[in-house]
Structure formats: C-alpha cells, structure tokens
Amino acid sequence: MNGLLIALLFQSSLLLPPRTAVENPSVVSPVPRKLLKDYDKLWNSFVAARNDARLAKDLDKLLKKQKTFDPGWMILAYLALYGGNDAAARDHFTQAFNANPRNRIALYYLAELAYARGDFAVAATYYSQLQGIDSGHPDVETKRQRAFLLAIDNLLIAAVRAEGGNRLAEAEDYYRQALKLAPNEPAIHSRMVDLLLKQDKKAEAEAERKIVENLMPRPPIADTSRASGDVKDDDLEDLGRWGSEIGLFHQIRDAETLSREQFAVLTLRYFPQVTELRKSPQILTDIQDSPARSEIQIVVNTGLMDALPNREFEPSAPLERGDLAKAFARLARLLSVPENSPSPKTPEDVAPTSTLYGDIQLVLGYGILGLEDSGSFNISGEVSGRQAVQSADRLLRTFQQAQR
C-alpha cells in the first residue's frame, strides 16, 4: 500500500480540483435543445461559484419537472461534494447513474466516494462497471484491484476476529461475503472448512473441502513421485497454505538469494495473523511497482521490517541474515511465543552491545537460524529461499506447539 493509498484510506472526503477543472456532465449526457440555454446558465453558475444556495433551488425546480435529467443531478451532486456533504453527493450521483447507466462521471465519483469511506467491496464493483463503459483509463483497473484486495482483507480480518471471539455464525457470514468476491480462492474455502467443522456442520465442511481439492493445481505428470500419489505431508501443507499461488512458493523456495519483497510474502503466508496486529501506517516511496506492495506495507506497518531513512524499502534488494533475525524475533514477541533457553553459542561477530544481539540470541534459541562453521552469525550475509522457508517453518511449529 503506497503513500497515496494511505492518504485515501484516512481522508474523510475526496480531494477536489478547482471547479473550472471539473468535467461538464454534458460530455456524457447530451442536453436536449429545449433545455440547453437553461443548463448552460446553471453550469456557468456552478463553475463561477457565485451563489450556490440559489443554484441549488433552481436545480430543484428543474428536476421536479425533469426527473431523469442526469446532468442536473450531476450539478447538484457537485454542489454537495464541494459543500463537504458526501452523503448527499452520493445520493445525487446515484440518481444521475440510475437515469443514465452509462454516465461514467457519476460512476467514477460513486467509486471514489465508496473507496474514501472504506466500503471497498462497493468501490470495486463501481470501478469494474466503469471499466465496462470506459476502458481507456488503466488507472481504473489499478484502483479496482486495490479496492478488491482491501475488501477481501477487511472481511478476512473481521472473520478471524469473530472466530477468535467464538462468534462463529458471524465469522461464517464474513467468510461467505469474501467468497462472493473471490469464489475461486482456495485459502478462503479452507478456512471455511475449519470453521464449519467447529460448528459441527460436517456435510457443509465436506462440500467446501471438495471445492478446495478442485481448485488446487494438478501436479505435473513429469513429477513421477507426485503423479504416483507419493506426496509428502510438507507438500500438502504447502498446497494448503499457498493454494493457486503454489508456483510463487516454489519460486521463493528455490531462490538462491531471497529478496526483501519475497520475504514479506513468505512471512504473511506462514503467519496470516500478522494482518491483525496493530499497525502504524508508514509511507514508502519505492514499492508501487512491486507485486508484493501489499505484503511489504503490512510488514513495515506492523514493525516486522524497517524502511530505510529515505522512506524506501528496496523490494528487490537481497534479504540479509540480520533482517531475518530481527523480523522473526519481533514476530515471536508480538505473537507471545515462549522463549527457549538462550543459545549456548555466542556469535563471535555480534557483541552484546549490538542492537541485534537480543534478536539473534532469540532466533538461535528457537533454532530458526544457526551459526556458520566459523562461529560467526554473519549479519550481512544473504539468505536463500530454502533457508527462509525452513526458518519460517520452525518458528511456526514453535508457535503452534505453544498454542496446544
């Protein structure tokens, strides 16, 4: 989530351009000849901002006679928007859209207003409709994807919280809402299986389990061990965790040198509860083009990883062993994982006065990382994908054992 997105999330209303820069509704809804003179006068009055109260009254009179005249509803919506009344603006844009379902300007503002108030599912729907009318703006697809992902994220967070509070019916409703948005996401169906079993809804749970199986990618025939049915437990666990993104997991696991953005993704796949941790929004200036920008924003906002002083994250930079130790030590503390006894080995290259000393002792105690043959920890050393996966798996199992 970039800085602009954070700003949008926390603002109560839209950032508006000068009235002279606002698009005239007549460009999408031609004005009948008999109304053109009156309409031009109303529009010019709005742009000049001479007397908004009088203009609103004149528009009300016109719309009582011309109820389906969507350019009139649009000007009334603009007035409400510039007057700071988002609710009224939303109502008027809706009336304009109902009068003309191809009114792309009304759709755009309805989507933006829904996004600004945090109603991401509605925003995603409006952005999608807007694309069907006007596909010439690639930024709309970016906004649709963000709204969609945020809608899913909010629903899953709400579901997990409800489930943690033993409000199982409420949690089920949230998961079902998420599945309406993403019906082919196996991870959500898997969560539904567990929740339905908690409610002793065995038949429904079995139906969901079959959906998960059908959505899982088929193993390649060339992989004889899997084709013959000889699949290891770890492989099944990876499929359950990564679902349709199992290819991404293999890419991360097989990386000779893991990048910082890959580590952010890996951390959230193994520990999805990180999304529930308290966040302090941080502005990052170089993650817009990263496929892991959402995961990066979460690990930074929760304090698991640090941004550089210049507000950059350097997504493609190699992950260092010190970064991994710091992130997993912080995560262990946030999840209240009981500490193992301190490591009997003290790294030769990490003094007790080092800011990383406590974190390194913690991960050594958990067995998440070990010392090199030389007896050093090698803080600046690079981490392979397989090492990171093993570390995440060890921390996860330590956490799961503590929960039993």
pLDDT digits (tens, 9 = 90+) for 66-82: 999 999 999 999 999 99
Strand pairing partners for 382?
320
Say whether pLDDT at 230 is over 50: no
Which of helix, strand or coil describes residue 305?
coil
CA distance 185 to 211: 10
Q: What is the pLDDT of residue 223?
A: 36
CA distance 356 to 365: 14
Say whether pLDDT at 131 is over 70: yes
Would you tell me which CATH number, out of the four given (1.10.10, 1.25.40, 3.30.70, 1.10.3470), belongs to the domain 3-117? 1.25.40
Say which residue the tokens 């908690």 belong to: 198
Say whether pLDDT at 226 is over 90: no
CA distance 272 to 124: 23
Mean pLDDT of 40-59: 93
| Residues 292 and 268: beta-carbon distance below 8 Å | no
Amino acid at site 236: L
Which of helix, strand or coil describes residue 387?
helix
- Residues 176-199, buried b or exposed e (16+ Cβ, 10 A)? ebbbebbeebbbbbbbbbebbeee
| Residues 327 and 392: beta-carbon distance below 8 Å | no
Taking the CB of residue 23, how many other CB atoms lie within 10 A of it?
13
CA distance 230 to 100: 59
Mean pLDDT of 11-37: 85
Single pTM value for the model: 0.52
CATH 1.25.40.10 maps onto the chain at: 136-214
CA distance 190 to 209: 7
- Return the structure tokens found at 172: 């089920």
Query: 304-335: per-residue pLDDT in tens?
Result: 999 988 889 999 999 999 999 999 999 999 98
Which of helix, strand or coil describes residue 382?
strand
Q: What is the pLDDT of residue 52?
A: 93
CATH fold for the domain made of 136-214: 1.25.40
Is the model more confident about 389 or about 185?
389
Instruction: Quote the mean pLDDT of the chain.
Output: 84
Q: What percent of the chain has pLDDT over 70?
A: 87
Mean pLDDT of 189-214: 89
Q: How confident is the model at residue 235 (pLDDT cuts 50, 70, 90)?
A: low
Say whether pLDDT at 344 is over 80: no
Amino acid at site 201: K
